[in-house]
Amino acid sequence: MKWLGLIFNGLLLFFFSYASHCGEIEVLSNLTRAVKIALVSDVHINRGTNQALYQYNYEKVIEQVNSAGVDFIVVAGDLTEDGTAVEYADFKRLTKRFNSPVRVVPGNHDIGNKKIGKNKNEITFKRLIDFHQKIGKSWFADEVYGVRLIGANSPLFGSGLGKEKTMWQFLDNELGKKSDKPVLFFLHHPLFQKKPEEKGGEYWNLEPAQRFRLFGLFQQAGVSAVFSAHLHKPLTNNYNNVLYYTTHPVAFGLPKGKQKPGWTLITISNTGIKLNQYFIKSTLKQEDKTAINLQNDDRNN
Ligand SMILES: [Zn+2]
């Protein structure tokens, strides 16, 4: 597999939304057609102060995704603010508006933070089971027009819960041998931010033990790209011929007032993987301000 550098340019799409074409990567494949996947994340559906704003943003993103005519949608975690029954019900009701099949994985807001012994609100068995009951399974494998999509539950990594073992067995099985098709991997947490070997014990990345186990599986299967969220701003890395891309969020961007919300269109064809960032302009100005301030107060991403 040969990789080219990222190519950046801009493109005005239509009023109230725009996209920037932010990357093109060569990947060897034998696809019969280009496959379009929407990467949507950090929706943070809630019944609190930000209910109207975040719902509005999600509705706008859904409209854009439907206009883009995608084949498949992945919502990469933090579907809700607190993983309550009513939030899950609201999320499901809105998510039905997508015109294409949707898969989701949970984020730390849905089922709890990764377990490192010092995070507040760490993952619990009850919240995990709640997710499985109310939303569905928290990992997946799909094939869309010859492209394999694998999704994992990243807060579960390192938790020691019984379901973690089940998920590793699933991942070992799906990624255990070289794939003759392009493989894309999805999860909420980015594996790393600055360096593949960076330390864990913090909020934003995956712990090194699980990160390096995944690196090994990605090499075995020939994974082309890994897509994540959680940072509320975009990030692009390359390591071992794998693209690591983090999307900007639906609910609110960081830093406050600077990062616009939106989603990413992934197009995979025989010429490579292309990423287009789409943005929404919220009309709920005052609430937007409130939301960002609240967010800043409790680092509640
Ligand atoms: Zn998160």
Query: Of the ranges 28-42, 134-148, 201-215, 239-253, which one carries the lowest mean pLDDT score?
Result: 28-42
Q: How far is the CA of 270 from the centre of ligand 1 (A)?
A: 32
Other C-beta atoms within 10 Å of 200: how many? 16
Q: How far apart are CA 300 and CA 122, in angstroms?
A: 13
User: What are the structural domain ranges in the chain?
Assistant: 34-262
Predicted confidence (pLDDT) per residue in 218-227, tens digit: 999 999 999 9
The pLDDT of 171-176, averaged and rounded, is 98
- State the Cα–Cα distance between residues 79 and 250, nearest whole angstrom: 10
**Cα–ligand 1 centroid distance for 107 (angstroms):** 5
User: What b/e readout covers 93-117, taking b as 16+ CB neighbours within 10 angstroms?
Assistant: ebbeebebebbbbbbbbbbbbbbee
Distance CA 271, CA 278 (A): 22
User: Using one digit for the tens of pLDDT, what is the confidence trace for 45-92?
Assistant: 999 999 999 999 999 999 999 999 999 999 999 999 999 999 999 999
CA of 250 to the centre of ligand 1 (A): 12
For 226-259, the pLDDT digits (tens) are 999 999 999 999 999 999 999 999 999 999 788 9
Can you read off the two tokens belonging to residue 5? 């550098």
Cβ neighbors of 171 (< 8 A, separation 6 or more) are 139, 150, 152, 214, 217
Topology of domain 34-262, CATH: Purple Acid Phosphatase; chain A, domain 2 (3.60.21)
CA of 154 to the centre of ligand 1 (A): 10
Alpha helix (H) residue ranges in the chain: 51-68, 85-95, 108-111, 125-134, 162-175, 208-221, 285-298
Please indicate whether residue 43 or residue 9 has the higher confidence score (pLDDT).
Answer: 43
User: Which DSSP category does 55 fall into?
Assistant: H
User: From the CA of 231, how far away is ligand 1's center (Å)?
Assistant: 7
Per-residue confidence (pLDDT) for residue 14, from 0 to 100: 30
- Dist. CA 42 → ligand 1 center (Å): 7
State the distance from the centre of ligand 1 to the C-alpha of 136, rounded, in angstroms. Answer: 19
